[in-house]
Structure 1
């Protein structure tokens, strides 16, 4: 058999005589099996686009990245953050106010930067600027407080209802919704209310209810009664008496068929709840009963 018979056979170029001679050779059977197996094999599909993208990705990962550093920009960012922190700290220390408050059935004593003393009654709050105290001795008050003011510059108590200005004295200020009272126990107190200024000397009071100034009697004590666990009233509408009971005893109050506008003169204990209830109900000719964690005040003729 000629050596080029295999190539010619694969290309289909053998003559009949040459094909007969090739088929009778010893190697033909092996070549025939190889050729049959090769014909049954299929080449996999080739994704040209996918192969190109994969090659591109490998090149990008292989390439060295060049990062441009800007040390001065980084310094500016750090400096900006530091400036914000410094400014925030300055504003907090110089503009923020000190605030002290009390909850129901709680009193609290505070000493101000000039050693003036303040005693907060229940459900009250004061705020002041400690950093500016030397230039402006000013206290904002919500609720009620007794002040013993140290000698020095003008001292002002600001409330929603009016302002109180003093110079080394002792006085009490109560500022509740619809009720404003100032009592001077020592020295001289100036009360600014509705564009009117009233001078109070020791032993006198100023009272305004629902924006109207009402007459008040003289104060015959050296301190307000609530400093000694007792709340006292003189011709005050019953509504404010019951509100004060609620604050001092931390008991919710409900009313039914009673005149909340009737005037009450008297006092009740801030430490003995049972005695306080009797001290309010007997002179007011009303009744009371507990309903869970509340107390109901009701008229004597209520079914």
Structure 2
């Protein structure tokens, strides 16, 4: 009975009659003191959010390390890499140029996609883009070459010293260190040198030696080297000797000779003995062979 009264008393649910009867019991005084003391008790502060975060962190630490793979995302990454590889390969392969090189004492003939023809002289190199040839007919030249250009769009030959442009004609371009020569054998050739354009009709040559421009005329229908000869007109001897080296694949040395003196003449590209005589006789100089080397020297050299 008193247990029921205690529960109702704690919840403040006793009637006046029940409360009067409960107060007469022996245990009421004890309950009253406990109730009064409990009103002064305070519960400690409890950080709910902090406790939840600690529990979550502990769960993460205790969980096994599992990497969740997403097959579709992985497929997309692989596909993207393949696309980049294929695209890069396409542009790389399409940017490659055809290159033709000749060694000393060697010449080569090249047929271009439009049936234009190039004959490459010794120790020379050309490069061009055959894949896009119909869009841009352009050749890069280092050395010497003779061109027979089929009629069509603008045809250009780019060298270190200048640019030659034609539509359809026959011409020769020589670009060596310090030496630049363009000879027109048919039609009309445009030569741009140091930003200045020169129109070159058939039978004329444009020559620049160490930046100095010279003019010349020719009567031949093709360059002499196409017939196994090298012909010069008032050209410094040092350039003649360099061409001799290229045509005969032999080293040249000089002693007590002025290699700036001008040479006019022709030497053979196939007969080495005859060639050295053709070079030495006009200057009254001597020569002697030493293995794969020839020494040109003055007659009074000790």
Q: CA RMSD in A?
A: 1.6
Q: Contact 1:174/1:181 (CA < 8 Å) preserved in 2? A: yes
CA distance in 1, matches of 2:70, 2:294: 72
CA distance in 1, matches of 2:121, 2:107: 5
The answer for unaligned runs of 5 or more in structure 2 is: 1-63
Superposed CA deviations along residues 14-62 of structure 1, whole A, max 9, x for unmatched, are xxxxxxxxxxxxxxxxxxxxxxxxxxxxxxxxxxxxxxxxxxxxxxxxx
Superposed CA deviations along residues 126-157 of structure 1, whole A, max 9, x for unmatched, are 11112222221111110000000001011111
The question of 1:247 aligning with 2:262 is answered no
Give the superposition deviation at 1:68: 4.6
Superposed CA deviations along residues 205-240 of structure 1, whole A, max 9, x for unmatched, are 010000110232x21111100001110000000000
Give the superposition deviation at 1:161: 0.5
Corresponding residue SS for 2:143: strand
Match of 2:107 in 1: 107
Match of 1:222 in 2: 221
Match of 2:266 in 1: 267
Superposed CA deviations along residues 143-193 of structure 1, whole A, max 9, x for unmatched, are 000000001011111111111111110000000000000000000001111
Equivalent residues in 2 for 1:50-89, closer than 5 Å: 68-89=68-89
How many residues end up aligned between the 2 structures? 239
Q: Contact 1:191/1:200 (CA < 8 Å) preserved in 2? A: yes
Equivalent residues in 2 for 1:141-160, closer than 5 Å: 141-160=141-160
Q: Contact 1:110/1:119 (CA < 8 Å) preserved in 2? A: yes
CA distance in 2, matches of 1:158, 1:88: 28
Corresponding residue SS for 2:106: coil
Match of 1:3 in 2: none
Give the superposition deviation at 1:94: 2.4
CA distance in 1, matches of 2:239, 2:250: 15
Q: Contact 1:105/1:250 (CA < 8 Å) preserved in 2? A: yes
Give TM-score scaled by structure 2 length: 0.76
Give the superposition deviation at 1:73: 4.3
The question of 1:296 aligning with 2:273 is answered no
Q: Contact 1:93/1:131 (CA < 8 Å) preserved in 2? A: no
Give TM-score scaled by structure 1 length: 0.75
CA distance in 1, matches of 2:151, 2:145: 19
